[in-house]
Structure 1
Amino acid sequence: MEQPKPQPTGAAPAPFAQTYFHGTKADLRVGDLIEVGFNSNYGQRKNAKYIFLSATLDAAIWGAELAFGEGRERIYLVEPTGPIEDDPDLTDKKFPGNPTKSYRSTHPFRVVGEVTAWQGHPAEQVSVMKEHLERLKQEGIDSLND
């Protein structure tokens, strides 16, 4: 028996929601909130005024690889609960136009899933990036996000 063909409804297709990622070493669960007020992973490790997310998996991988601590590197799918804005450390200083799609917020992000299969950067590339961040710290160049 032949299946009936779907009939158009006249409604325009809905766009897909933007996917956002958060790279960290924190052990979180679906439904948890990522909030400001914890020590930053970068700069002087002050209480963070902002939390970060990215619309690119690569930027989230860097976040996980460079995060402070000894935990397992993790990439979470998150949804913002309030407004987000461009991360000025990346957009204004290094990459005008925000090609890394990196953002910050003072509002929590809700964990909606975890990316469990991802490929990290080569160890030597991560080491060079960590050395660069340490050099900036020694020179007193802080993040705009502290």
Structure 2
Amino acid sequence: LGRRPVLLLSLAGAAFDYTLLALSNVLWMLYLGRIISGITGATGAVAASVVADSTAVSERTAWFGRLGAAFGAGLIAGPAIGGLAGDISPHLPFVIAAILNACTFLMVFFIFKPAVQTEEKPAEQKQESAGISFITLLKPL
């Protein structure tokens, strides 16, 4: 299927979820939004896969650090922004989240180009590393 379609589906699901949460006035709409979010919630895993696929091995650690910093900043700023917006209206945090997810969806749709894998390990190197990992797992036994 590829990383780009999965990322787009995940972002669209999150935007739809937050839109439902913003517009909901009955409990079943909240449940429906959370179910959709749970089914399409692969954004973090796909983002990590994109970083792994599109960076050189020598730069990968730095890019994973940046990704972790972005997630950490979101975990800190998100509740603060949501709390301030929630003082204005209980629906406003969800409107903001829906807009941000929709903007991210559009950026991925129009800007993101998935990396093409060019580094391929020889077959014997793949087998050797897999065998070493398996033996390492058996050592404690």
Q: TM-score, normalised by structure 2?
A: 0.25
Instruction: Name the structure where strand makes up a greater proportion of residues.
Output: 1
The structure showing larger relative contact order (alpha-carbon pairs under 8 Å, at least 6 residues apart) is 2
Q: TM-score, normalised by structure 1?
A: 0.24
